[in-house]
Structure 1
Amino acid sequence: MTATESNTPLVSVRNLKIGAVTDSGREVEIIKGVDFDIAPGEILALIGESGSGKTTIALSLMGHTRTGCSIQGGQIRVGENDVTAMSRRARAGMRGTEVSYVPQSAAAAFNPSKRIIDQVIETTEIHKLMPRSTARAKAVELFRALALPDAENIGSRYPHQVSGGQLQRLSAAMALISDPQLVIFDEPTTALDVTTQIEVLRAFKSIMAAGGCAGVYVSHDLAVVAQIADRIVVLRGGEVQEEGTTDQILNAPHHPYTKELLAAFEPSPHQVIASTMDDKQEPILEVRNLFAGYGTVRKGEPPVKVLKDVSFRLERGRNLGVIGESGSGKSTLARAVAGILPAYSGEILMNGRQTHHDLAKRSKEELRRTQIVFQLADTALNPGHSIGSILARPLTFYHGLRGKAREARVIELLDMVHLPGNMRHRVPSELSGGQKQRVNLARALAAQPELILCDEITSALDTVVAAAILDLLKELQNELGLSYMFISHDLSTVEAICDDVLVMFKGEIVEALPALRMSDLATHPYSRLLISSIPKLSTGWLSSLEQDPELIAQFANR
C-alpha cells in the first residue's frame, strides 16, 4: 500500500528541522525542513551518502536525537502520537512498543552475558505487555518466522554462540516481539556476507508482510533497497532531493543526484590490460604453496591453519582481485603477503626474488615496494597526529626527506589523491570517511611502491565515495604504473578495478577467473553461489532468485 492509497498515514513528518551545536559553540542545521508520509504496512527507504541525514531522521521518529543534537522545528506524528510534543517519559513508553529499532550491528545490541531469549522478551517485561510464558512462546514463533535454526532452543544460547546472520535476525525478533506499528531498520545487512544477506532480507520481507507493520529502511545500498522498499526518499545534506516509488526512483529518476547514486552503484568496468610479459619476465608477485594461520606454535607444530596451499601470480601492471565471504582467508592472505602475519610454509616472491615471511626481517627496499591500505581508515590513522605528520613519516623513513622538501612532497601527495594541501594541518577526526581513505592511500604512495595491497578499502564507504576512490586508483595506476591486489566481497568493485580474480573458500583458492567474465566462466559451486547472491538493481530480483538449498547449506556461512 502506498501513502496515496491511505487516507491517514501511519507516519507523518512535516518541515522537520534538527540542529546541533559544535564544540566551538556554533549552531549547525543538520535536517532542513524534511517532509514525508508512511502508510500502514508500507516500507519507506531513506537513502543517501554519509552525512545526508538518513539515520538522524530515522531516530527522530522515536523522538531520539544523538548527543548534541535536538529537534528544532516541525512535527513528527506516529499513529496517534505527536512525537515532537511528547514528554521524555511518554517517548520512552512508545519506544519498543509502538516503534522499534533494528541496528546495523546486532552484536553491539546484545548483552554478551545474558541468554538470547531473555533479551528478546525484555521489552515485554519492561512494559508489562504479556506474561513471561506467553512472551517466550511468541519469541519462538518469531524465530520460526525468521527462518532461524532450532527455533525451540536457539534462545537458550548466548550471543557469541550464534552466527552474525542469525544474530541480526534475532535482533529483528527483539524489535517485533511487541507488535510495533513501525520498525526502523538501520543498515541491518551492511556487515553481512552476501549469501547471509539474502537469507536475512527474505526473512525481514516475509515477516513484515505477515505482520502488516510499516517500516523505515536506512541504507546506501540501492540493490538492497530495491528488494525491500515500496517507496524511496533520496536525501543529501539534510534535504529531500527526490521521493517516489521504488520502481520510479530506480528506473526513471528525475534529480541529478539520484542519477549520480545509480551510476555509482555500477562502476565502469575495468579496461583489461593485455599481458606484455613473456616467459622470461618475472611477475611482480608470486606466491607458492603458502600456508599461514594464527595461534602459538608449540614444539614445531604449525598454528591453526587459515591459508592452505595457496599459489598464484600477479603480473606487473595488472590487478588481482581476491573474493570470498568472511572467514575465507582473504585478509589473512593480504597480511601474509605483507609480512604482518608471517606464513609458516611456502614462498613469497617479489620480482622473482624470495622475500622473508616476517615483516621485521625484510629490507627497507622490500618494505617500500609493497604497501598495504587497510579497510578502516579510522583505526589505521593515528588520531593524535596531523595529516602532515602522518604522511611525513614514510617520506623520512624511505627517502630521508626532511624540512621544506618533505613538506612540499606532503602537499604533492595530497594533490595526487585530490585533497587540498592545507588539509595537512588537520587531524583525522576532522575528515570524512572518504577523505581519511584518501590519506591512507597517500601514505602508501609516499613510499613510491610498485604493489599496493588493498584490503576491503571501499567496503566502509558509501556508494558515491567508493566509486570516486576506484576512479582515483585507476588514475594513479595509469600515472605511476602500479599493480593492485584487491581484497573484497563486492563483485562489482572487483569488476571495476581488477583483471583477474581468485575465489577463496575456507583458506583455499577454489577458482581463478578473468574479472569481466566471472559470471559466465565460474564453474565451482561456491563461485556460482557467491555470484548468484549479489543483489541486482531490480525490484523483482529477490522474489525470483532460486538457489539450491543443499548448496547453501554446504557453503553459506550462517
Structure 2
Amino acid sequence: MTEKPHVSVKDLHVNARTDSGRMVEIIKGVSFDVAPGEMVALIGESGSGKTTIALSLMGHTRTGCHIASGDIRVGDNAVTSMTSRQLAAFRGTGVAYVPQSAAAAFNPSKRIIDQVIEITVIHHLMSRSKAETKAVELFRALGLPNPETIGKRYPHQVSGGQLQRLSAAMALIGDPELVIFDEPTTALDVTTQIEVLRAFKSVMAKKGISGVYVSHDLAVVAQVANRIVVLRGGEVQEEGDVDQILNEPAHDYTKDLLNAFKPATHVAQGQREADAEPLLEVHELYAGYGPTKDGEPVAKVLKDVSFKLERGRNLGVIGESGSGKSTLARAVAGILKPYRGYALFNGKELGAGIKDRTKEQLQKNQIVFQLADTALNPAHSIESILARPLAFYHGLRGAKKERRVIELLDMVRLPANIRHRLPEELSGGQKQRINLARALAAEPELILCDEITSALDTVVAAAILDLLKELQRELSLSYMFISHDLSTVEAICDDVLVMLQGEVVEALPASEMSQKAQHPYSKLLISSIPKLDTGWLDRVDADPVFAAQMADR
C-alpha cells in the first residue's frame, strides 16, 4: 500500500475469560491496513475472530473480552488509547456500524427518521431541518422508494431490504471516516441483496469512505471489496487483493473456504415410488394475517397453494422476501390457520391450527426456525430446552430423560457437557444444532426447516446440511426446506417450488432448476445468485433484460 493508510491495525491481541475463569487469547497478533476510500473484507468461518476485530475498530469488545495489546488508528484517532468519553464521541462520527440484523438496530416504537438523525442530535452536528434534508438525500442515494416520506414510517412498515439500507443511512449521516459492515446482507434474499449491495457500493464510492466488510460469503465480498483478509482462529492466514485471493489463493484454509462455497453436487435423497402415499399433501391452501372480514383475513398471503411431499424425499420452497414461503411453513406447522384449503399428513387431515391437532400430529410434524437466538429461551439451560419435548411427547423423567438429552446432543454432533450451558454461551452453528435436536426429541417424520442456514457462515452451513442428510438416512426423515438460497436447496432437496406473491409459479426437480426453469421469476432468482467474480455485479447492472426483470418482479 503506497499511500498512508486511513485505518491501521497493528499486532492486535484480544483476550476472553472462559466459563472456568481462565483467560484465553482469541485474537492473536492481527495486523492490516485500510487505504482511504478502500473496502477491506474480513472473511472466515464462525469463531475466526472477524466480528471481534471489527468491533475493536470502534474500541468495543463483547462482555468478557478486552483488548490486551496492540494499536488501532482511524485517521488521527488512536482508538486503543481513548477514554470512554472519547470513544462515545468517536462512535457515529469517526466510525459507524451497519449490523447484520437491521431490525435489531431500530426501535419499533419510534419513526425511522427520528432514529436515522439521532446521531446528529447526540453530537450536535447540525440543525434538525438540515439533518432531515441530509437523511432524505441518503435515502435517495441508497435507492430507497419514496425518499421524502419513507422516514415517517415505523420500522415494521418497511421491508427487510429497505430496513438494511436505512441502517446504512443511519451509519452514514454523521460523515464517519470508517464504516463497518457486519454481514449486512446475510439474511436477505438474492434479489434484495443485489439492490442493497449496489446501494452500499455506490454511496461508499461517491463519498470516498473507507470500509471494513465482515462476511463469510465470498461471492458478496467479490462485489464490494478491494482486498481480503482471511482469518482463522484469531490469526491472519492470508491477505491480498480480491482477484488474487479468489483465483490464486496461497493458503490451504483459503482454498477450503472457496471449496465450501462451491455448490454441492445434487444427490436425490429419496427415490420416487409410483404408488407411494404422500407423507404430506397440501390442497388449495389460502392463508393470511390480520383481522378477518367475511371470514377472510385483511392481508391475504397464500393463494391456492397445492403440492405433495413423498416420504423420504425433500421439498425446497424458494422465493424472495414477501413471496409467502415462510407463511406456507407456518400454515403447514399449524402456527397460522389457513382460511381455505386443507392438508393431509399420512393420508389423514391435519387440524388447521396447533390447537386443532392431535399430540401425534404435533409430534410427527416439527419446525426449526431461522433465528436460533430468538427460538431458544435465553434463561433456560440446553438440557432444560431439550427436556421439555421429551417430557411432553414421551413422558421421560429423571435418568431416562438425561440419557436421552445426551443421545440427542450426540445426534447433532455436540458434546454432552454442553447441556449445562445457556444459549448465549454457544456459537450460531451450535445454537442451530440445538434447535434441530429439540425437533428430533419429538421423533418426527417431517421437519420444516425455515431458512435455518441463512445466518450461518458457509463452512458451518455446509456442515449443517451434511448433518441433515446424515440424520435423514439414519432416521428416515423428510424435510420441507424454506430458503432464498437456490444453491442450498439444490444441495439437499429433490424437488423445488418457486413462490411469487403467495402463489406457486413453478415446480421442478431440484437437479433441473438451474437449466430448465421456464418462468421469468425463476430465471431471475437463478441469475441473481452472486458469482465468485469481481465483475459480476457490474455486468448484471448493465444487462437491460435483468434490469427489466428486476423492475417487473
Q: CA deviation at 1:169?
A: 2.3
Q: 122-131 or 491-500, which moves further after superposition?
A: 122-131
Kindly indicate whether the alpha-carbon contact (under 8 Å) linking 1:267 and 1:467 is maintained by their aligned counterparts in 2.
no
Residues 378-417 of structure 1, C-alpha deviations (whole Å, 9 max, x = no match) = 3333444443444344344444555544444433332222
SS in 2 for 1:528: helix
Counterpart for residue 457 of structure 1: 452
TM-score by length of 2: 0.91
The aligned residue for residue 354 of structure 1 is 349
Counterpart amino acid of 1:199?
A: E
Q: Is the partner of 1:334 in helix, strand or coil?
A: helix
Q: Distance in 1 between matches of 2:229 and 2:279?
A: 47
Q: Alignment partner of 2:176: what SS? A: coil
CA contact (8 A) 1:180 1:213 kept: yes
Q: Could you say which residue in structure 1 is the equivalent of 2:532? A: 537
8 Å contact from structure 1 (residues 148, 166) kept in 2: yes
**1:533 Cα offset (Å):** 1.5
Cα contact 1:343–1:357 (8 A) shared by 2: yes
Matched, 1:145 2:141: yes
For 2:259 and 2:278, the matched residues in 1 are separated by: 35
Correspondence list, 1:332-371, <5 A:
332-371=327-366
> In the alignment, what sits opposite 1:5?
2
Counterpart pick for 1:31 among 27, 32, 42 = 27
The 1:252–1:341 alpha-carbon spacing in structure 2 relative to 1, beyond 3 Å, is same
Residue in 2 that maps onto 1:417: 412
Q: Does 1:69 align with 2:59?
A: no
1:86 to 82, 88, 95: 82
When structure 1 is superposed on structure 2, of 18-27 and 247-256 the one drifting more is 18-27
1:422-447 per-residue CA deviation (whole Å, 9 max, x = no partner) reads: 43444434332222222222232233
> After the TM superposition, which of the residue ranges 161-170 and 340-349 deviates more from structure 2?
161-170
Structure-2 change in CA distance of 1:312 and 1:146 (3 Å): same
1:119-166 deviations in Å (ceiling 9; x for gaps):
444444544555655555444443333223334444455544443323
Q: Which amino acid is the alignment partner of residue 467 of structure 1? A: A
Q: TM-score, normalised by structure 1?
A: 0.90
- State the Cα RMSD in Å: 2.7
Q: Which residue of 1 aligns with 2:44?
A: 48
Name the SS of the counterpart of 1:75 in structure 2: strand
The answer to which of 36-45 and 134-143 deviates more is 134-143
Compute the displacement of 1:370 (Å): 2.1
Q: Which residue of 2 aligns with 1:523?
A: 518
Q: Is the 8 A contact 1:222 1:265 kept in 2?
A: yes
Superposed CA deviations along residues 75-99 of structure 1, whole A, max 9, x for unmatched, are 1122222222233333333333332
How far apart are 1:229 and its partner, in Å?
Answer: 0.5
Could you tell me how far apart the structure 1 residues matched to 2:447 and 2:96 are? 44
SS in 2 for 1:552: helix
- Cα distance in 1 between the residues matched to 2:253 and 2:387: 37
Q: What's the % identity of the aligned pairs?
A: 74
What is the rounded CA distance, in whole Å, between the counterparts of 2:74 and 2:170 in structure 1? 20
> Per the alignment, in what secondary structure is the counterpart of residue 278 of structure 2?
coil
Instruction: Summarize the Cα distance change of 1:422–1:20 in structure 2 as closer, same or farther, 3 Å threshold.
Output: closer
User: Distance between the aligned counterparts of 2:395 and 2:78, measured in 1?
Assistant: 64
| 1:269–1:497 Cα contact (<8 Å) kept | no
Letter in 1 for 2:218: L
1:345 maps to a residue whose letter is R
Decide which of 548, 551, 557 is 2:549's aligned counterpart. Answer: 551
Question: Of the candidates 154, 157, 179, which is equivalent to residue 183 of structure 1?
Answer: 179
In the aligned structure 2, how far is the partner of 1:292 from the partner of 1:348? 13
Deviant stretches of 4+, over 6 Å = none
Deviation at 1:296, TM superposition (A): 4.5
- Of residues 287, 299, 304, the one that matches 2:282 is 287
- Give yes or no for the alignment of 1:58 onto 2:54: yes
Matched-pair contact (CA < 8 Å) for 1:269–1:516: no
Work out whether residues 142 and 203 of structure 2, in 8 Å CA contact, stay in contact via their aligned partners in 1.
Answer: yes
- Give 1:96's match in structure 2, choosing from 76, 79, 92: 92
Mean alpha-carbon deviation: is it higher for 340-349 or for 400-409? 400-409
Q: What is the rounded CA distance, in whole Å, between the counterparts of 2:440 and 2:269 in structure 1?
A: 22
Q: Check whether the contact 1:314–1:320 (CA below 8 A) recurs between aligned residues.
A: yes
In structure 2, the CA distance between the partners of 1:235 and 1:158, relative to structure 1 (3 Å rule), is same
- Alpha-carbon contact 2:115-2:170 (below 8 Å) kept: yes
5+ residue gaps, structure 1, are: none
1:45, 1:185 → 2: CA distance? Answer: 9
Name which of 473, 480, 483 aligns with 2:468.
473
Deviation at 1:301, TM superposition (A): 4.6
CA distance in 1, matches of 2:27, 2:355: 50
The match for 2:242 is 246
How far, CA to CA, are the matches of 2:162 and 2:287 in structure 1? 29
The corresponding residue for 1:229 is 225
* Distance of 1:406 and 1:124 partners within structure 2: 55
Q: Map 1:377-388 onto structure 2 (within 5 A).
A: 377-388=372-383
The answer for the alignment partner of 1:441 in structure 2 is: 436
1:484-542 superposed Cα distances (whole Å, 9 cap, x missing partner): 11111111110110011001122211111221221222222222222222211211111
CA distance in 2, matches of 1:384, 1:61: 31
Alpha-carbon distance in structure 1 between the residues aligned to 2:530 and 2:374: 29
Q: 1:488 aligns with which of 480, 483, 501?
A: 483
* Separation (CA, whole Å) in 2 of partners of 1:150 and 1:529: 25
The residue type paired with residue 370 of structure 2 is: Q
* Cα distance in 2 between the residues matched to 1:119 and 1:388: 40
Measure the CA separation in 2 of the matches of 1:237 and 1:553: 43
1:262 aligns with 2:258: yes
Query: How has the CA–CA distance of structure 1 residues 204 and 487 changed in structure 2, closer, same or farther, with 3 Å as cutoff?
Result: same
Helix, strand or coil at the partner of 2:531: coil
Partner SS, residue 18 of structure 1: strand
Aligned residues: 550
Name the stretch that deviates more: 428-437 or 9-18. 428-437
Query: Could you tell me how far apart the structure 1 residues matched to 2:204 and 2:465 are?
Result: 36
The one-letter amino acid of 2:360's match is E
Partner secondary structure for residue 284 of structure 1: strand
